[in-house]
Amino acid sequence: MSLVNDMLRDLETRRAPPAERAPLDGLLPADEGASVRRAGRQRLLLGLLWGALAVLAALLLARIWLANQAPPLAVVAPAAQAPAPAASTPPAVPAPAEAALPAGELPVQLLATLPQHGDGRFILQLLLDRAPSYQRSEQSGVVGLRLPQLRLSDDGPRSGRFEQGGRSLSWSLQPLGDGAELLLVGLGDGLQVLDRLEPAGERWQLWVEVPFSAASSDALDPAQLPVAGDDEAVADDYPPERGAAAVPEVRVATEDRQHAAAPASRGQPTEQLAAAPLMPVQRAPAPAAPVSRSPQVSVASHQPDPLSEARQALLAGDTERAIALLEELNLRQPDNREALRWLARAWLSAGRHERLIAALPAQLQRFPTDSELRVLLARALLQSGDGAAAVATLAERMPPLASDPAYHALLAASYQQTAQWRESAQLYRNLVQLRPTHGAWQLGLGIALEQLGERAAAAQHYRQALQGQGLDEDSRRYARERVQASGGES
């Protein structure tokens, strides 16, 4: 086409004669811009096509990203049972009323309970449909794991007892409030409990292990608070304050070694009050037959994270390595409160009270509702001899009694540390109304009432302490002596 146009333009330019134009009379000039326009339209259509594809890809990626970022919508399945109580707002009165779970929050279902023992240890496996949150508390011879929102929906055993080498251990898993509580009782001050939570396929498994062979050794319990294992260390932990010559010496012990009131000798009684917090102790059912060996379910191998490595180091007695791991983890993850709690426990176990007292107040400013951090700080203050500061720390922000009775028990014992007997008696009254079978709380109330001059009421609570649970032999002996001194019979 361009050749014809060039020939026609040449004729016009030279003003050729008609004879020369005659062969081209029937030809018309071609539209040279049409091809350019066609190419432009093709480029435009191709650009629009690529733009549409890019927009679709962007929308698809955005939808995938939003689906990963948005929390899943929980669909509450219909249930035949009544709504369970909410763990966040239980009333601070004995026998809390039932309340509904928060909207959209499903309970944790217990799928299987597998106890087994052998090779010098007891292992309890709880198979759960999803990962639960739980709180651990300890006292001499009693370890409690409180699992809010746990529903006991399996048909497995609920309690058991077995003996080995002249030592016995009892366990029970019972409903409590909005969830359930696992209690392990026995072995006295030698009770060591290792717990861990790990995935098992699409489920979760809570392992609870109690080594029998280490019960009489000096191995460190990873969850224990400062060790009060020998008499000399105990004597330095909590110096007593006496209101009168007859005022008993009150000593707050560690979380997993709660020493109840006991005389040093019959001729010269020295009273020690159990003060370490623990989860509320239920009346255990009658001792069941020894736990039968159940086959262990196979689960995926668990690769320990830094926190698990630190806990294992504590269990092995390598406190320095555990502290180093936890301090490094705390620097990398300053908002990881679980790591912070374990670091505070390790400091307390290693006797680094000054380090803990210096660090925890700032953390409590960040996490004012973390009652466990507040308890750890109070214990460090008590071991440093500052009972008044410990009382102020605990009394500043008290959780509801029904949700954390162990916190109230520690505060009640701390009041006795500072000879505030009336405040101590009031707290212990609330505690024994919540759990009348708790021997240590009955004993604490008896001591407080005796110091207030209410000897008849004190003797009654001493008797109830003897009928309750959780007292070691020294505490029972002391309670019998106080009952006999009041003219009663034990």
Q: What is the pTM of this model?
A: 0.45
pLDDT 10s digits, 176-209: 877 888 888 877 666 778 888 877 777 788 878 8
State yes or no: pLDDT of 100 exceeds 60: no
Give one DSSP letter per residue of 273-341, joined into a string: ---S--PPPPPPPSPPSPPPP-PPPP-------HHHHHHHHHHTT-HHHHHHHHHHHHHH-TT-HHHHH
pLDDT of residue 188: 65
38-42, 154-158, 358-362, range with greatest mean pLDDT: 358-362
pLDDT 10s digits, 408-437: 999 999 999 999 999 999 999 999 999 999
pLDDT band, very low/low/confident/very high, at 111 (cuts 50, 70, 90):
confident
* Cβ contacts of 129 within 8 Å, gap of 6 or more: 108, 109, 111, 203, 204
Q: Walk me through the domains of the chain, giving residue ranges and CATH numbers.
A: 107-212 (2.60.40.3500), 235-287+304-490 (1.25.40.10)
Q: Mean pLDDT across the stretch 324-335? A: 89
pLDDT of residue 77: 40
Tell me the average pLDDT of the chain. 72
Nearest CA to 361 out of 382, 378, 348 is that of 378
